[in-house]
Structure 1
């Protein structure tokens, strides 16, 4: 990021010169911007003075500084366009034009917000309908902690009733989890928070919380105790699917065993959802 204050006109001129496929002079630039030669000359002369452009035989060229700033602005514009197109479904040309106008805005709050999202969206650009590995997802999320959400589907298949109420143990998990991506190794984790559940049954009041969490990895079953939280390896989710619009989903079968019935053991399908808009 260059510590130099530019006017909107100067930003526009820099981008125009960077992306032009011809030699540009004062008349061609003023025509391109529908601006008088007098006004264009004032803008260009100021840019020459601060070292953004230079002239040779009436042709205007970007200096090294001007090119570097223009390329930085173009990168920001293109990244914002990716968020607008891939995340909000705005048509490519319109997304680019809108991103270009945001680049010129004096207020930087919207620009900063879009650019913070862009670090995620550029990594899934053109990946709609495809799958991503756990390693790719770890790279997209980046080191640190991200909060994502999940829902739990039926514990087992019943031919007569496909909507099976969840066990008390499964209802004892908050529906948001933390994904921790380690910067040094592949010991990435998914951490669940636990809550007690109370329920009336046949006139009696029962209180329950998950006691053990069970998962399978490469066919081998692992049982881990549950405290206030419980963590499992992130790599257990082998495949994530990008459905578009910034939404990624994955499924994993887990079993939560309650403290009042250690033999009650049914696997359920946990479906995790990552909304890239909520990560920024």
Structure 2
């Protein structure tokens, strides 16, 4: 009986019945799927007729057969999510969203996901080639994407011929947000600053970042520990191959700790993995 064929929409309706919400109303489903109440009722009544749901007064519940089908869909959704995390390195929350969007595709869900991803790889440059930020606007939809942030010191350690990570990595979250929209930008988020001095704990926060453009200094203020940096501040992106692009720029940060201020300069490196988009 678990092989009963459901439409993609019926599967999505069925997955809305959870431990937290064992019953649903017509109003619930019309709001979740942004459809009219008559359309939601029509779908629910079809599922009642198929034996997947049953109705008591104004509430709909999942039948025993419906529960078996729903449990199977949940297992498939979890497997799809784990596949995305394991193979593509997609973060758990985003993988859960992707799997929820695709689970109704049945056996073609992985194929649909790969088809979506392949569009990002159709017109990539050669490894080592540089592209402008406009390239990202051409290949990415208007959404928010995870970007990895690492901050390096300005100076090379001559003894090791290496550029060391900056202490600022302890202050900034290592995942930033690339926001593709009418005003594309990157969001940096900081952690609260704490510093012990002479037995007293001092608290502070990063107040602003300063960058250079056309010989002039420009400041970007933080609000609620978040700063929005226009995408063009990062200039060109270098394609490393494997769907990975990097960009970096120099910032001077200003942090206020109690009544004193602290300024530091460092190079901020962004890594965008298209497989995780």
TM-score, normalised by the number of residues in structure 2: 0.54
Shift of 1:174: 1.2
* CA deviations over 1:1-22 (Å, ceiling 9, x no partner): xxxxxxxxxxxxxxxxxxxxxx
Shift of 1:219: 2.1
Distance 2:219 2:260 in 1: 12
* CA deviations over 1:225-267 (Å, ceiling 9, x no partner): 2122111110111111111111111111112211127653232
Structure 2 residue 171 is the aligned partner of structure 1 residue 172:
yes
Superposition pairs of residues 179-218 of structure 1, within 5 angstroms: 179-183=178-182, 187-201=183-197, 203-218=199-214
Distance 1:205 1:163 in 2: 31
Aligned residues between the structures: 172
Question: Residue 243 of structure 2 contacts residue 273 of structure 2 at CA under 8 Å; is this kept in 1?
Answer: yes
| Number of the residue aligned with 2:263 | 265
Distance 2:241 2:184 in 1: 25
Superposition pairs of residues 83-94 of structure 1, within 5 angstroms: none
* CA deviations over 1:173-216 (Å, ceiling 9, x no partner): 21111112225xxx311111222032335644332321111112
The one of 205, 221, 227 equivalent to 1:230 is 227
Question: Residue 154 of structure 2 contacts residue 267 of structure 2 at CA under 8 Å; is this kept in 1?
Answer: yes
Distance 1:164 1:114 in 2: 37
| Number of the residue aligned with 1:116 | 116
RMSD: 2.9
Distance 1:238 1:163 in 2: 21
Judging by fraction of residues, say which structure has more strand.
Answer: 2
Shift of 1:157: 5.2
Question: Residue 150 of structure 2 contacts residue 165 of structure 2 at CA under 8 Å; is this kept in 1?
Answer: no
The unaligned stretches of length 5 or more in structure 1 are: 1-86, 89-105
| Number of the residue aligned with 1:254 | 251
| Number of the residue aligned with 2:127 | 128
Q: From the CA coordinates, give the structure whose radius of gyration is larger.
A: 1
Distance 2:156 2:128 in 1: 27
Shift of 1:150: 1.0
| Number of the residue aligned with 1:10 | none
Give the 3 Å change call, closer, same or farther, for CA 147–208 of structure 1 in structure 2. Answer: same
Distance 2:159 2:263 in 1: 20
Distance 1:166 1:242 in 2: 24
Shift of 1:158: 6.2
Question: Residue 192 of structure 2 contacts residue 205 of structure 2 at CA under 8 Å; is this kept in 1?
Answer: yes
Distance 1:160 1:239 in 2: 30
Distance 1:172 1:271 in 2: 15
Shift of 1:123: 2.3
Give the 3 Å change call, closer, same or farther, for CA 264–237 of structure 1 in structure 2. Answer: same
Distance 1:267 1:110 in 2: 45
TM-score, normalised by the number of residues in structure 1: 0.54
